[in-house]
Amino acid sequence: MTPAARISAAIEVLQDIVERRRPASDSLKDWGLSRRFAGSKDRAAIASLVYDALRRKASSGYAMASETPRALVLGMLAGLRGLGVAEIAELCSGENHAPEPLSDDETALLTAFSVEGAPEWVQADVPEWLWPSFRAGLGEVAIAEGEALAARAPIDLRVNRLKAGRDAVLNDLAHLEPEQGPWSPDALRFQPGHDGRGPSLQTEPGFFAGAFEIQDEGSQLVTLLAGARPGQTVIDLCAGAGGKTLALAALMANRGSLYATDLDSRRLAPLHDRLARSGAGIVEVRIPRSRGHEPFADIAGQVDLVLVDAPCTGSGTWRRNPDAKWRVRPGALAERIKDQAEVLARAARLVKPGGRIAYITCSVLPEENDEAIRAFLAKHASFSAIAPIDVLRGAESDFSLLARFATTHGLQLSPRRTGTDGFYLACLTRNA
């Protein structure tokens, strides 16, 4: 496919997303299945165009005075990819599956492309209804934070301490030009290419050997700061596919007892193969028999650390899931806040006196972060928040520079602040 034909395809996929109100991944999959002539590079390029258009949906729609799929793609080509009007016009020839030629209005809007004077939520490419919360959480730099969350994300990996060291993996992957992560001692980073794609790390021998796992450095950081130690009893209460479970096993040096569970047992399915590859031998997966069943009733009140990777809106991961921010609705935020209160209350019943709860979200919204902790502490007098500076002091490495990102109760990471996804961590201790 020509570059112009790929742009036409991206407009078509976006039209399907709008009309059927479905995730971008589903529309892209259906498009590829119905057009077998498109090769893997074509499909990847079209996906990159679609996701880039969604990253800048608000700002492109404002600058182009329209939110049609065509307007969003044209605006993205100008605003994100930096193409000039002449370059865009050349791609829009109307020939050989190319988009129709630019209209006079489109040419004028692309020539004057700007979001100057637009509402703040437009400049930040954040849903309008979420902007008050977003700004409350990130303050005066909220527009810049939104712009960072609308950029492409790098690909990070976590070196598996149980099987390899960072220098060895760095050498093994030298042909892919990795960088050392700026924060985590186990992180390597790969920048996305011009088309938004990164290297195929999951085809590397080291991946199959369990030497590393794909994991954002922010996710690595909050897991490391949770405070797991060798020999402890630890529960990953919302384990999902197990990324943090695997990181915990490595931090515990395969000594102690580590349990993983999730209310949605289907999310745990990938964990079993990942455990076998990683060499983590201390993990026991427990699946609840029903929503009200507690699979850890036998060790309630005896656990050193309960890690709560709480269900949330995912606002901190918009770089990786740009369509998610436009699909989230106010009712979803209210539901997530309820879920967070429930899972924190459950963790409180499991942790022992002197033990710790590490509460984590991939969100930058205060309702899901500091306010969730404040509400929990108001109902659980036997718990207190560990000061963020003390959380950092207790880490195995010097993370003192992260202290500037402290909130009332925790730490808030973000693409602009730390170059990571927008993770939040607060640690609580049971006093009695």
Active site residues: 362
Look at residue 188 and give its three-state secondary structure: strand
Backbone angles phi, psi at 305, to 5 degrees: -145, 130
CB contact at 8 A, 249 and 283: yes
SS3 351: strand
Tokens of 199: 């290297």
User: Does 262 show up as a binding residue in the annotation?
Assistant: yes
Centre a 10 Å sphere on the Cβ of residue 432 and count the other Cβ atoms it contains: 7
Nearest Cα neighbor of 8 from 77, 85, 58, 104 is 77
Task: Find the angle CA(309)-CA(239)-CA(296) to the nearest 5 degrees.
Answer: 100
Q: Give the C-alpha separation, 156 to 214, whole Å.
A: 6
Burial class for 369, CB neighbours closer than 10 Å (0-12, 13-18, 19+) = buried
183 is written with which tokens? Answer: 């924060």
Separation CA 150–CA 231 (nearest Å) = 41
By DSSP bridging, strand 212-214 and strand 187-190 are unpaired
CA pair distance 111, 78, nearest whole angstrom: 9
> Using the 8-state DSSP alphabet, how is residue 266 labeled?
G
Partners of 385 in the β-ladder: 428
Could you give the CA distance from residue 29 to residue 379 in angstroms, rounded to a whole number? 46
In the three-class reduction of DSSP (H, G, I as helix; E, B as strand; rest coil), residue 138 is classed as helix
Distance CA(42)–CA(128), nearest Å, equals 33
241 and 274 Cβ atoms separated by less than 8 Å: yes
Structure tokens at 164: 């390899």
Nearby residues of 83 by Cβ (< 8 Å), 6 or more positions away: 77, 91
Binding site as annotated, residues: 262, 309
Binding site as annotated, residues for S-adenosyl-L-methionine: 262, 309
